[in-house]
Amino acid sequence: MLPGSIQISGETLSGAEIRDICESLRENSVRLLSLRGCQLSERDFGHVCRGVAESRSLAQLNLNLGIVSNINRVKQLAEALKTNRSVQSLFLHGSPLTDAGLALLNPALSIHPSLVALDLGDCMLGDEGINLICGLLPPDGAKSGLKELTLSANPGITSKGWGRLAIAVAHSSQLRVLNLDYNPLGDQVAGMLAVAVASSRTLEVLDLEGTGLTNQSAQTLLDMVENYPTALRTLILAENNISPELQQQISDLLSEGEEEEETEVHEVTAREKNPWICQNSSSSQMVLMTSGLGDSLLAETEM
């Protein structure tokens, strides 16, 4: 039987329900566990963490909206992740971690062999937390790192912290999705992020919704998209003081990039079917590297 999912939202969980969840985790019959906004005792939270530690099937763990509510729970989750080898996505959005809590969790995150997606939105993080997160974005691919990172609504991070993150993103060899929505970034930080996007070989999605940007930021981002080859496919700029015309120009340029890539992929497919067609070595290499991205995503899905 293929592993299934347990998804519960906003409920007060009884001891019996927790026992059933833990039994399913130990039996490796759960691929997704979501206890979003649920209420459970300290003892029962510990039981869940032990179940996570023992599970070999769990790929996605959602503890959003205050489940990890104190330092003791952070410690128990960290211990579980040190043992667990299967979790690929960890969602802690809305947990009052603070930098101190993330410091306790970070050693387990940094050595986890499968973790590729992390949501630390609205976790009361500051610049020290950013320094820890940057360590999860290795620059050379020598070790596994995050492919998707969410840091929404962490207003305690200063421009210095965001600058540090921009440098890490520019050199990250794996990050594909970065969500920074509802942070007070402003035009200065947006400029640093534009440089990071222009330097990154992998970043495909950047969410800057509601981050205090103006037309100044949009013009910088437009120049970046227009003049530099990037991997960027989606740029979210809603709820900023940016003119609809500039947003449309950026969107059109990104769409053109997607269309050009699709055309190149079709050309490569045609060459493979007809070996008599002469191949341009430089363009073929670029397209093949792009098509390899789909293979890696498929492999991740099937894990």
The H-or-E segment that residue 67 falls in is none
b/e sequence 33-69, b meaning 16+ C-beta within 10 Å: bbbbbbebeeebbbbbbbbbbbbebbbbbbbbbbbbb
Hey, what amino acid is at 219? Answer: Q
- Residue 3 confidence class, pLDDT cut points 50, 70, 90: confident
Same fold, 1-89+96-115 and 125-137+144-260: yes
Distance CA 135, CA 28 (A): 31
pLDDT tens profile 109-139: 999 999 999 999 999 999 999 999 999 998 8
Distance CA 167, CA 232 (A): 17
Q: Where are the domains of the chain?
A: 1-89+96-115, 125-137+144-260
Q: Any idea what DSSP says for residue 136?
A: T
Helices (H) and strands (E) in the chain, counts: 10, 9
pLDDT tens profile 202-223: 999 999 999 999 999 999 999 9
Per-residue pLDDT at 74 exceeds 90:
yes
- Residue 140 confidence class, pLDDT cut points 50, 70, 90: confident
Query: What CATH code is assigned to 1-89+96-115?
Result: 3.80.10.10
pTM for the model stands at 0.84
Q: Which CATH architecture has domain 125-137+144-260?
A: Alpha-Beta Horseshoe (3.80)
Per-residue pLDDT at 274 exceeds 50:
no
Averaged pLDDT for residues 135-149 = 86
Per-residue pLDDT at 166 exceeds 90:
yes
Hunting for tokens 């729970």 — which residue is that? 73
> Which residues fall within 8 angstroms of residue 263, CB to CB, at 6 or more apart?
none
b/e sequence 98-131, b meaning 16+ C-beta within 10 Å: bbebbeebbebbeebeebbbbbbbbbbbbbbbbb
